[in-house]
Chains A and B, each alone.
Chain A
Amino acid sequence: MAHAEAAAKFNENEAKVNWHDKALWFVRQKRDKQAHKIQGWEQLRDYASALKANVLSNLDNYLVQFEENAKKNGVTVHWAANAEEHNKIIHSILQKHNAKKIVKSKSMLTEECHLNPFLEANDIEVIDTDLGERIVQLAKEPPSHIVLPAIHKTKEEVDELFQEHLGTKPSGGNPEYLTREARKHLRNKFLQADAAITGVNFAVADTGGFVVCTNEGNADMGAHLAKVHIACMGMEKLIPQEKHLGIFLRLLARSATGQPITTYSSYFNKPEEGKEMHIIIVDNGRTEQLSREDFRRSLHCIRCGACMNTCPIYRRSGGHSYDATIPGPIGSILSPGKDLTKHSSLPFASTLCGSCSDVCPVKINIHEQLYKWRQIIVKDVPQPTVKKNIMKAAGSILAKPKTYDFVGKSTRFMLKHTPKSLINSKINTWGHARDLPEVKGDNFEEWYKKRQKNE
């Protein structure tokens, strides 16, 4: 389904749209407050963006350096060219340890690779331990937001879901009760887990360590209890040196949820005695995106979700309307790189207002990339003939003042003399909910010419 259709569906329930919009706008406002509180916010964004540009243009070296250092620390490093390889590597590690029960903390990469269905098909239980992730997992839905995966669900809906799956009592959506119950449920899962999978927020080239940020401590809980810790990272997650964390950690939580820092920013460097630690470095289309000059900067992304919270379209259409692992503005420039035809409506799901680019902590020029994708899509993906012909015709009319004058006058004639009921009828999408401008007298050029004559 194209984005517009899914968005229209979401809008059938206006009260829910209002609620969704307000919930995310609240997060955006919290972010504004926090960003205002530290001096040099814009400078931090400049630094972060420059560092990411440096990483991307020296990615080969940083990756090798990171691998060497991680190995020195006793970590096993794997390379996966695509999602399939990523999943197979995980499976083989789990098989080696005969691991049947897995806990996983939030990782958009494993979503991207569809790891959960793959493991389940291989008789392995995988439990998402981030509360929001667990909610959507129980609901058998994909996350609708990269930081707030269950933001599309009201607390009443969560209440029902927990009653069904966790056997809780009806609480009218009492958040404390529901969280406590989720905690109990997850604690058991943590204790039973054979292995823990986490994502990676930042991988540090000069130490071989990595940092995982969570608010619930679930990554730590999983990684410290289980015998095996597997960390999955997209290959763009690198930063050159440990000291650069000072920049990125300051930006990440403030941008994401308006917190000064995530509750847990956990540094993992080496496996504990008697345990194993694995890192899987995943490409899965990133090299290709890196090769596209106009879209390279999309790989700066630190997955803070701020562009979603600020996007007036995302807030009113919901994450699922994008039908992509990463929704919202950043998803709309990443997804077409993976499957242009499937995601061809996404770069058009924007007014190009530019709020995303200005909110982005690593200064990705998102709205400019949306514009660029549009130019590619109309060439490479078959367009509705009507739209194409209108645009082509417009191009030639607007290049010739005489024809333009004629068309302009006819349009004005039509607007003046066609009954309003017809103009605002069903065939005219503009007119479903909006009146067309009222046209009176001369157009500007006619007026100007007359004035010249009279002078």
Chain B
Amino acid sequence: MKVGLFIPCYINQLYPQVGIASLELLEKLGVDVEYPLGQTCCGQPLGNSGYEEDSKGTCQLFVENFKNYDYIVGPSGSCVYHVKKHFDILEQTEDVKRVRDNTYELCQFIYQVLGKTDLGASFPHKVGIHKSCHGLRGLRLGSCSERMDPHFSTEENLLKEVKGLELKTLNRADECCGFGGTFSVFEEAISVKMGKDRIQDHIDSDVEVITGADHSCLMHLEGLINRNKQPLKVMHIAEILNSSI
């Protein structure tokens, strides 16, 4: 099984530590993984802004980069969702179909494909999960509060096995943080308010570290936390699952 590591553009440029943690984690789990050079983006920022048409070259490049891997794994739910859901704008060649079928969000890959939960990590802190919407309601990484399905959560399943980690329950289990790509700029007032409210919920729930499977939401929350000097840390779930403090 050969895995291609998909590192979304903003993680590559702004959060290399998340890429590193993802790679190390997969290697630790014995996965034959490599990072194909020359990756750019999945086209999501364009598609969500209405410029899907202009993203075709970007999407095609993604397929070219990854078509020879059995699985494509990335630490960002919304990007993975975009590949699976919105690459319907490309001609559905065998390559395109295979890439769409075999792209997984990191936690989903570990839990569903590798069938593992205990990754040998230890992280003695109080943690709150931000369940990013595209991962939750798009990829169905877990049950969402709107639907009357039995409760499950991929991230919870993995974090529960982390030594010393105390998982906190929030008042609003899965409300959106207000990032939403260009929404964060074009609807700035609401975006900021939503982010502030999410952070307050974590603070009220005695959380020390907010984590999640989508660093774009976490970037938005971290921006607010740093600006307002709030006593919270933000870490991608790969960093926690890869830690052994």
Residues of A with Cβ closer than 8 Å to B? Answer: 3-4, 7-8, 11, 14, 17, 21, 25, 32, 35-36, 41-42, 310, 312-313, 316-317, 348-355, 357-359, 371, 374-379, 387, 391-392, 394-401, 404, 408, 411-412, 415, 424, 429-430, 432-437, 439, 441-445, 447-449
Contacts and interface: CB of A to CB of B under 8 A. Distances in A.
Nearest to B137: A354
Given A432-B192, A443-B16, A445-B37, A7 B187 contact: yes
A371 B47 contact: yes
The bracket for how many chain B residues form the interface is: 35 or more
B54 interface: yes
B12 A374 contact: no
A4 B138 CA distance: 25
A434 B223 CA distance: 4
B51 A42 contact: no
Given A375-B52, A434-B220, A398 B187 contact: no
Given A25-B172, A355-B176, A377 B50 contact: yes
Contacts of A397: 40
- Residue of A352, A378, A447 contacting most chain B CB atoms (<10 Å): A352
Contact of A350 (B144, B180, B195, B219): B180
B164 to A, nearest CB: 27
Contact of A443 (B12, B37, B183, B188): B12
A451 to B, nearest CB: 9
A359 B172 contact: no
B23 to A, nearest CB: 8
Given A21-B197, A358-B146, A398 B41 contact: yes
7 contacts: A312-B176, A348-B183, A355-B137, A396-B54, A404-B40, A437-B219, A444-B19
A415 B9 CA distance: 15
Contacts of A387: 49
B20 interface: yes
A45 to B, nearest CB: 9
Contacts of B40: 397-401, 404
A391 B46 contact: yes
A32 B148 CA distance: 8
Contacts of B197: 21, 316
